[in-house]
Amino acid sequence: MQVISLANLIRVAEESEVRDYLSSFSCEKNPWVEDFLKYQAIDSEKRVHARTHLIIDEDNNDEIIGYFTLKNKQFDFEGTTSGSLRQKIAYSKKATSVSTILIAQLGRSDRYKGVVPGSKVLELALEKCDVMYKLIGMRIVCVEYEPIPELEQFYSDNDFQYLQCSPSGYKLAFIRLS
């Protein structure tokens, strides 16, 4: 298993070849995750909007096991967010917002369900976040997800703490890097 940058892949291969490669990724459980990689990730890289990293299976023809997309995002605190939670995240009880590393996309290929756990994909994403923290000092990592019990349990099991609901109805959770 190896993590490679989509930006680097784009630099060394023709875009049409990269698109063909990405088209092999399948995630029926979450079509949005599949569609992002196939149809939006390259454009996102070109615009330097976010960075996508592919997890590949070196032992199996470099198949895509999964991927994650990271970006910097500032979140405004909702009025219901407690002062103590604001203090924990933004170091001020009166903070109105916080800059974070957002795991904007996280997905595993259907072919690797039962082979590579989703927690491993998340772990690899958090390793990249830790590198970012060491380089630029951004300690808070967030995820936004649909309020589905399975997703809530997944992030809770992986030490993310609920922060607040976004105006769009998604839940926002965070983890603080050490």
| pLDDT at residue 168, as a whole number | 85
Q: What is the CATH code for 2-176?
A: 3.40.630.30
The pLDDT of residue 167: 81
The tokens for 122 are 């998340």
How confident is the model over 64-75, as a mean pLDDT?
97
Which residue intervals of the chain are DSSP H helices? 6-12, 15-22, 31-35, 41-46, 83-90, 118-136, 149-157
CA 7 to chain CA centroid, Å, is 16
Order the strands of the 51-57 sheet from edge to edge: 2-5, 51-57, 63-76, 97-108, 140-145, 171-176, 161-165
Q: What's the CA dihedral at 144, 4, 178, 92 to 10 degrees?
A: -40
Give residue 79's pLDDT.
85
Query: In this predicted structure, what is the pLDDT of residue 85?
Result: 94
Q: What tens digit of pLDDT does each residue of 80-116 get?
A: 899 999 999 999 999 999 999 999 999 999 999 999 9
Residue type, 47: R
Q: Residue 114 to residues 15, 63, 109, 127: CA-CA distances in angstroms?
A: 31, 16, 10, 22
CA atoms lying within 13 Å on the CB side of residue 145: 23
Give the side-chain half-sphere CA count within 13 A for 73.
19
Distance of CA 168 to the CA centre of its chain: 18
- What pLDDT, on the 0 to 100 scale, is given for residue 19? 97
Tell me which DSSP letter residue 99 carries: E
Amino acid 178: pLDDT:
83
Task: Give the pLDDT of residue 166.
Answer: 83
Alpha-carbon gap, residue 89 to 140, rounded angstroms = 7
Token code pair at residue 110: 């259907």
**pLDDT tens-digit map of 4-40:** 999 999 999 999 999 999 999 999 989 999 999 999 9
Confidence class for position 133, pLDDT limits 50, 70, 90: very high
CB-CB contact of 173 with 158 (8 Å): no
* pLDDT tens per residue across span 148-170: 999 999 999 999 999 999 888 99
